[in-house]
């Protein structure tokens, strides 16, 4: 039996396909307003990005359907999110070919939040869902 070197193990891991958290759905504290924030912009800059690109999520967390309309989440304008039996959401490009683009999972227990991004806002956005796909890669 051949022993694998550390280098070959690391190379095989780096070549394996990976899916990282692509975006998060955060809710404006004290409201039901929800916004999609790309994982690589999980900071005040991401809040600005989401607000500027109209990345507001419509619908209530826990409902059977959520949507993003006329936004620009990493180049995608319209998404439909459908509740699954395990409480997660699978999402699709609205009007697309029906291919699942990814899945979102509840992440409220993470304690994730973005706070005090502007002296004028003083807002807090609280993590609700973490979504895995390749949209923003």
Cβ–Cβ under 8 Å, residues 114 and 44: yes
pTM of the model: 0.79
State the pLDDT at residue 119: 58
> d(Cα 42, Cα 24) in Å, to the nearest integer?
8
User: In the chain, what are the domain boundaries?
Assistant: 18-133
Mean pLDDT for 77-85 is: 96
**Residues 89-95, mean pLDDT to the nearest whole number:** 96
Q: Find tokens 């504290």 and name the residue.
A: 29
Percent of the chain with pLDDT over 90: 41
- Average pLDDT over the chain reads 81
| Segment 29-47, tens digit of pLDDT | 888 899 999 998 888 888 8
Which pair of structure tokens corresponds to residue 136?
A: 């923003």
Q: What is the pLDDT of residues 4-22, one digit of tens each?
A: 444 433 333 333 334 456 8
What pLDDT is attached to residue 120?
52
Map 70-107 to HEC letters. Answer: CCCECCECCEEEEECCCCCEEEEECCCCCCEEEEEEEC
User: Residue 115: its pLDDT value, please?
Assistant: 79
Burial of 72 (C-beta count, 10 Å sphere; 0-12/13-18/19+): middle
Q: Alpha carbon of 62 to those of 8, 57, 116: distances in Å?
A: 44, 13, 27
Cα distances from 46 to residues 1, 17, 49, 87, 97, in angstroms, run 50, 26, 5, 26, 29
- More confident: 102 or 136: 102
């Amino acid at each position: 039996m051949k022993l694998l070197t550390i280098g070959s193990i690391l190379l095989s891991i780096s070549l394996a396909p990976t899916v990282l958290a692509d975006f998060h759905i955060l809710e404006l504290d004290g409201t039901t307003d929800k916004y999609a924030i790309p994982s690589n912009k999980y900071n005040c800059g991401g809040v600005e990005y989401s607000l500027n690109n109209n990345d507001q999520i419509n619908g209530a967390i826990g409902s059977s359907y959520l949507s993003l309309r006329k936004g620009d989440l990493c180049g995608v304008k319209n998404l439909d999110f459908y509740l699954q039996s395990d409480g997660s959401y699978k999402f699709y490009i609205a009007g697309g070919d029906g291919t699942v683009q990814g899945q979102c999972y509840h992440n409220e227990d993470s304690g994730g939040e973005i706070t005090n991004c502007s002296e004028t806002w003083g807002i807090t956005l609280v993590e609700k869902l973490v979504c895995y796909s390749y949209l923003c890669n």
